[in-house]
Structure 1
Amino acid sequence: MKSFYKALLLSVFIFNSLSASFGQQSTQFGKGTDEYGTFFNSLKDQLVHTQYRKTVHFGGKERKQFVQWIRDHVHVMKAMKYLEPDISTFWQFFIEQQTSEGLYFDYYYPMVARENHRLNLFEKRYWKVFARDTIQMHRLPVEADLEYLMVEGGHYIWQATGDTSYLKTWISRLEKGIRYSMTDPLRWSKKYQLVKRGYTLDTWDFMQLPTTRAEYVRQGKDVQTGIFNIDENTPMGIMHGDNSGTYAACRQLAQLYVALGNSAKATYWTEQADGIRKRTNDLCWNGKYYAHFIADDPVPSYLNMDQKNTLSLSNPYDINRGLPTDGMAQSIIQTYESLKGKNVENSFAEWFGVYPPVEPSYADYLPGSYMNGGVNTIVGGELAKAAFQHGFEEYGVDILKRMIELNEKHGGKLPVSYKPDGTVDEGIPDNWGQAAIMSAMIEGLAGVVDLGHSFEQVELAPRWLAAGKNEADITIAYGPSGKYLHYGYQHNPQRKTITLSIDGASKQYNLRQLLPAGKRLKRLAIDNKTSASTLETVRNSQYVQVKNIPAGKHTIELVYK
């Protein structure tokens, strides 16, 4: 273990030194962050040195890949935008291949016989061959998430660069993709005016089979066709995660159009978002969390699960995309916290892909394996961020502590997927989960949320009190641009003061400072001048709020009683 941490410190030193040599700040959890800083450095090291991150040569250009599946790649971008100078070229390759109707491909594979099999399974619109690059690209027909994820990726690029000229080049394609999701009869429910899909496990890419895979083959049928393919006869339903993603994408399109000065388009996409939010919340909410599926077509008789009362992995995503109200978000978080308390399935953690698992299996995945009741850090990371931001700060810290223990248990390599007994499972790139956790640490624990691009307008909500830390030195910087926000946090329990020293690229800071439990604000001063503030209650937590703090370096002191 000691040798691992020596290697980790060396790699982080090299990473930070390279950033400094280019005159850029680097993203760091520094002095006072202790075990969280050590863990953060480990995540950085794993994300930068993963086997999935590589340079590929497609379309006559070098592309920086984080995962060869664009879905996974975009999910990893939420962390890599803080670490990687190039976050656009791989995403751009996929948007360049958008089809005339507006859909995107999932992934690329080499031109080898095993993968060529899929060219014979799907309609021609779902695949493309690139002879010069000796690759093929496919869309798994059942998937309904790529169009909103491409918008999310484009939004990350804009946030990290502020490049409106680049944005202007691609925004019409992003809009075309969302329109495809909202018009194609295989994607859009005429009945509910929401995105639909075949009955998969949440956002995952395979459907249940009427029998085992072996029996399916004995019947002369192709398993991949059965689990991946859809047509007008495929039974479909409404899955909340597709619609929270589309809702978020509409909001992101609206923000991007504001940046381009097109208020009419911004208004249009805001209205589309509002409609999707209302329809999804009215239809999919079961009183405690979002139901797994709502039937658009009758649920197949061989799919043995209670769709209304199955908790699935998109629920934490729904919160972080802004779909539920605060009360609904808190109910979802309480549901997961309750599963931990009951220790359901004798599981080491409550971060299930779906709960309860499907019996006796789902497409031959046994209960407790993979997405069928397996446990994964994707859910844990998204849940931690949601917990921090919705009044469950201690629960957010609890999740991070357990992630730290897992990371140490596996020698500084944090796997993403587990069986309930803690055995490592396979099938998901580890950096997807690592990125979700890093995002929770930055936006949740450290409390740095970019409200626009380049940290020009930022929400600053340090939650170190919940972690029991009285000091923290934090720098969050974008890899492509080097734009950054830095703060130094000091809590003096004896003097009953919290002091923040802030600087960076921001033109406007919005402060939300967590108070110790049971305490009240006595005085707030900015640069030694008393300042007005408001008190915000989030569940049982009290936040002192000051909006529109102008650009520049500032020292903010709160005195409580």
Structure 2
Amino acid sequence: MLIRCTSLILLASLAAIASDPSTVEGAYGRLSTDKSSYRPLDVVKVKVGGRAAGDRKCRVKVADPDQRVYFEKDVDLEANQGRVQFTASGKLGVHYVYLWWPEAKKYSRYVNFRLDAETGIESGDRDFDTIYPFTHERVQLGRRDYMTKRGRFVGYISADTNHFDGIWLRDWIYTLPAYKYWEREMQCGLDRFLEVQREDGQTPDGIERDGRTWRVGLESDVEYILTLGVWDTWKATGDDAWLRAAMPKLEKALSYIRSDAKHWDAKNRLIQRQHSCDTWDYDIDGATDHGASRHVIANCDQSGYALAFRGMSEMYRYLGDNAAAERWAKEAGEYRERAMKMLWDGTKFLHHVHLDAIDHGGFDETKQLTMGNTWAMTRGLADEKQSIKIIDEYRRRQKETGDKYPWWSLQPGYPDRLGYWKDKYRLEGAYANGGLMPWVGGELARASFFYGRESYGVELMRQYADHLRRTGGAQVWYFPDGTPGYRTTNEVNYAGWGMAQWVDALVEGLAGIRDPQGQMRAVEISPRWAAAGVKEVRATARYGASEAYFSYKWAAEPASIEIEYSGSGEKAEFRVLLPAGFAPRAVMVNGTDVKFEREDVGASVYIRFQPASGTRGTIRIGRA
């Protein structure tokens, strides 16, 4: 009987609570979004239900994960119902939608949604839209995740090497322009390389699964590749403590390469290497002196070290060491000038300059167009005028030769009559002696976008997209007629060093999203879709190892260009390619006129302007 009475009392109490107006939804109103997660620049649709007493108006506020309000609006209610919508933007993570009633001192309800982003291009043109997802899927086949004695090692393999179960530093880091958009484990592999650095600063070429290392004696590029790898990894991860710890190792590496007699030419104060096919790792057969003679100054090394020195300056400046930043900036500038004077021939950069007498039997090396010329443009060794000359030389030679693509390692290669190599894959027109390499095409396309040859960049990208559809991927090299080349049993058609450069050309070149300072803090946005005949685009670049991103929508109308953008950073400088014949009358950001400047690059016309905020905005470029 007692139990029954207690139950009745409890039920009566619950009924009293339920009937209390302050304990039911009608006391607070209703609030909902049409989805629980969105991408930047998605429209969020909000439904509001009034309180039981009836309401005519409410206010909706939206805040980012840091509780910064970025949307606020009064909403009229009809039949106690209301709707409002806004564009999701700003910092990634959980956002808040708050419901306020008139005269209230606190919000009445709230609901969350999640903002997330992935790298991608949506243009309606399959040539551009499929390059990144294809690369994302295929390149990950070359991802390796090892547990070594020193710790975990995540990296990406070379697509043709006998070291198929180890990581070449160069192939891995040259895949970074693609994998930085999805990879979360970017640092541990570099930690393994930094840990096995010799006391004098020399860095290995690669590390096997079991921890053994190797270094090809001819190579002079390893230390700049290490520096660029740390620089770009830090930009993507934003790990300042990791960067600070790595800087002394980079100092040692660059000190080594500029002091070791095998790699440093004290007279010209430039990096030297044994005679090789541009940046590749072998000399002429029979040259087994391991660097005692046959030295050259090669353009591939000079562009890499000039950029690495500039990177050291930028990293030190960020870390607050202005004295070191100035020291490296001075070194970068002076080094570039010395290399320019020695290697620029008026049309292109020479393959290399001999420091020791090498008789090529009447063959004129100065005529060779080398793969390093593409790096000279994208790394900043070449200026704008020089880059335009180099790009036009590539176009001229393809018309002259009729080769499938202008992706030459060397053009022309060393002729077979010289008898330099026994291996068939090293003969003229093969591998690094004149074969076609996709990474060269990707760098050429990116340079074309940078230096006023945007239509040519589009042409190259369409050729590459067609190549992927027909062949199912990209190998390390091809013969001049496009036939795939093989030299080992480990050839695969998902060469990260090759496919990554085309992602770079797509994202940085055509879509024009560049991140010079890291973490998308201060991005440079140069949409070049006018060269591709595309009318509407949605483009996003987001790092896999952090929440740094930038996203925009671009639309070309007869009377205007419309851009809506969202990012995680603070600043965004726009530099927009104008369609032919488009004369800008005004630029408006969020409805307010802003100053703009015209910039001529080759035959192309850009307008440059900077909105007050890099986080979000709407731009309209009006036609005169």
Same fold (TM over 0.5): yes
1:108-507 to 2 correspondences below 5 Å? 108-109=207-208, 133=210, 135-210=211-286, 226=287, 230-231=290-291, 233-299=292-358, 301=359, 305-342=363-400, 344=401, 346-360=402-416, 362-364=420-422, 365-411=426-472, 413-426=473-486, 430-493=495-558, 496-507=559-570
How far apart are residue 347 of structure 1 and its match?
1.4
Query: For 1:81, which of 152, 174, 180 is the aligned residue?
Result: 180
Aligned counterparts of 1:359 and 1:243: Cα–Cα separation in 2: 26
What whole-Å deviation, never above 9, does each CA across 1:472-503 have from its counterpart, x for those lacking one?
Answer: 1111000100211010011113xx21111011
Aligned counterparts of 1:547 and 1:179: Cα–Cα separation in 2: 39
How far apart are residue 44 of structure 1 and its match?
1.6
AA partner of residue 619 (structure 2): I
Maintained 8 Å contact 1:32/1:473: no
Aligned counterparts of 1:109 and 1:471: Cα–Cα separation in 2: 46
What whole-Å deviation, never above 9, does each CA across 1:59-109 have from its counterpart, x for those lacking one?
Answer: 342221112101110100121111111111112211111101111111134
SS in 1 for 2:430: coil
Q: TM-score, normalised by structure 1?
A: 0.85
Aligned counterparts of 2:362 and 2:573: Cα–Cα separation in 1: 49
Aligned counterparts of 1:398 and 1:318: Cα–Cα separation in 2: 21
SS in 2 for 1:554: strand
Aligned counterparts of 2:123 and 2:608: Cα–Cα separation in 1: 25
Cα gap change, 1:543 to 1:335, in 2 (>3 Å): same
How far apart are residue 304 of structure 1 and its match?
6.4
Aligned counterparts of 1:166 and 1:542: Cα–Cα separation in 2: 41
- Aligned equivalent of 1:547: 610
Q: Which moved further from structure 2: 394-403 or 181-190?
A: 181-190
AA partner of residue 534 (structure 1): E
Aligned counterparts of 1:541 and 1:560: Cα–Cα separation in 2: 17
What whole-Å deviation, never above 9, does each CA across 1:291-343 have from its counterpart, x for those lacking one?
Answer: 011111222x257642322111111111111111111111111110111222x
Q: Which moved further from structure 2: 463-472 or 424-433?
A: 424-433
Query: For 2:132, which of 40, 58, 67 is the aligned residue?
Result: 40
Cα gap change, 1:188 to 1:417, in 2 (>3 Å): same
AA partner of residue 256 (structure 2): Y
Runs (5+) with no aligned partner, structure 2: 1-91, 95-113, 158-166
Aligned counterparts of 1:338 and 1:296: Cα–Cα separation in 2: 30
Maintained 8 Å contact 1:33/1:473: no
Maintained 8 Å contact 1:208/1:303: no
SS in 2 for 1:160: helix
How far apart are residue 549 of structure 1 and its match?
3.7
- Aligned equivalent of 1:511: 574
Higher Cα radius of gyration: 2
Aligned counterparts of 1:403 and 1:34: Cα–Cα separation in 2: 12
Aligned counterparts of 2:484 and 2:612: Cα–Cα separation in 1: 47
How far apart are residue 388 of structure 1 and its match?
0.2
What is the total number of aligned residue pairs between the two structures? 495
Query: For 1:58, which of 141, 144, 148 is the aligned residue?
Result: 148
Maintained 8 Å contact 1:59/1:93: no
Q: TM-score, normalised by structure 2?
A: 0.77
Cα gap change, 1:372 to 1:484, in 2 (>3 Å): same
SS in 2 for 1:179: helix
SS in 1 for 2:517: coil
Aligned counterparts of 1:505 and 1:315: Cα–Cα separation in 2: 35
AA partner of residue 290 (structure 2): I
Maintained 8 Å contact 1:352/1:373: yes
Aligned counterparts of 1:402 and 1:350: Cα–Cα separation in 2: 11
What whole-Å deviation, never above 9, does each CA across 1:355-413 have from its counterpart, x for those lacking one?
Answer: 111111543311111011101111000000000000000000011000011101113x2
How far apart are residue 235 of structure 1 and its match?
1.4
AA partner of residue 429 (structure 2): G
AA partner of residue 223 (structure 2): E
Aligned counterparts of 1:538 and 1:245: Cα–Cα separation in 2: 25
- Aligned equivalent of 2:40: none
Aligned counterparts of 1:63 and 1:377: Cα–Cα separation in 2: 27
Higher strand share: 2
Maintained 8 Å contact 1:248/1:321: yes
Aligned counterparts of 2:612 and 2:154: Cα–Cα separation in 1: 37
Maintained 8 Å contact 1:500/1:557: yes
Runs (5+) with no aligned partner, structure 1: 1-18, 111-132, 211-225
AA partner of residue 368 (structure 1): G
What whole-Å deviation, never above 9, does each CA across 1:172-194 have from its counterpart, x for those lacking one?
Answer: 11121111111111111112110
Maintained 8 Å contact 1:524/1:532: yes
Higher helix share: 1
What whole-Å deviation, never above 9, does each CA across 1:185-218 have from its counterpart, x for those lacking one?
Answer: 11111121100000000000000125xxxxxxxx
SS in 1 for 2:531: coil
What whole-Å deviation, never above 9, does each CA across 1:432-461 have from its counterpart, x for those lacking one?
Answer: 100011011010000000020110100000
- Aligned equivalent of 2:77: none
How far apart are residue 158 of structure 1 and its match?
1.1
Cα gap change, 1:75 to 1:304, in 2 (>3 Å): farther
How far apart are residue 546 of structure 1 and its match?
0.4
Aligned counterparts of 1:278 and 1:380: Cα–Cα separation in 2: 26
Cα gap change, 1:81 to 1:305, in 2 (>3 Å): farther
